[in-house]
Amino acid sequence: MTEGEAEFSLPLRVYIEDTDAGGIVYYVNYLKYMERARTEFMRARGFGKDYIFNSDLMFVVRDAAVRYRRPARLDDELVATAALARLRGAAMVFRQSVRRGDTLLAEGDITVACVDRAGLGARRLPAEVVQALATGGGAPG
């Protein structure tokens, strides 16, 4: 997937632990749904836990701008999406959404920074990550 191409989609269901006493999804859980979609987006491109745990880097959320549009409810079937909006130096910006059918429930721009595992300082995205994300391929063998 190159920047601006089609969204990666992850189907989800709302469980009781996702909701408040009224059966409405608690706002922070939309961020969790988006995290799952980004994680699976990266895993599909070869950058799952094995890559991360065997590298001297980590990916951390630097900024999250989320707009809540409509509520989700207990037992709803949802789809969380992730699309790469921009790659730059030490960061990736994802455009994300959570939908129920055609209804947009939440949308946001999430900036994920690449940091050095030891010192947690910003570092450039590795070339293999940039190449795989820019071309839609996976991590090198």
The strand ranges marked E within 1-141 are 8-13, 57-68, 77-88, 91-100, 103-116
For the question of residue 116 being annotated catalytic, the response is no
Which strands sit side by side in the sheet containing 103-116, from one edge to the other? 8-13, 77-88, 91-100, 103-116, 57-68
Which runs of consecutive H residues, i.e. helices, occur in 45-100? 49-53
Tally Cβ neighbours within 10 Å of residue 97. Answer: 24
Measured from the Cβ of residue 137, the count of other Cβ atoms closer than 10 Å reads 13
Catalytic residue selected from 18, 20, 76, 109? 20
Residue where the block lists tokens 């994920």:
112
* Separation between Cα atoms, residue 60 and residue 36, nearest integer Å: 14
Q: Give the active site residues.
A: 20
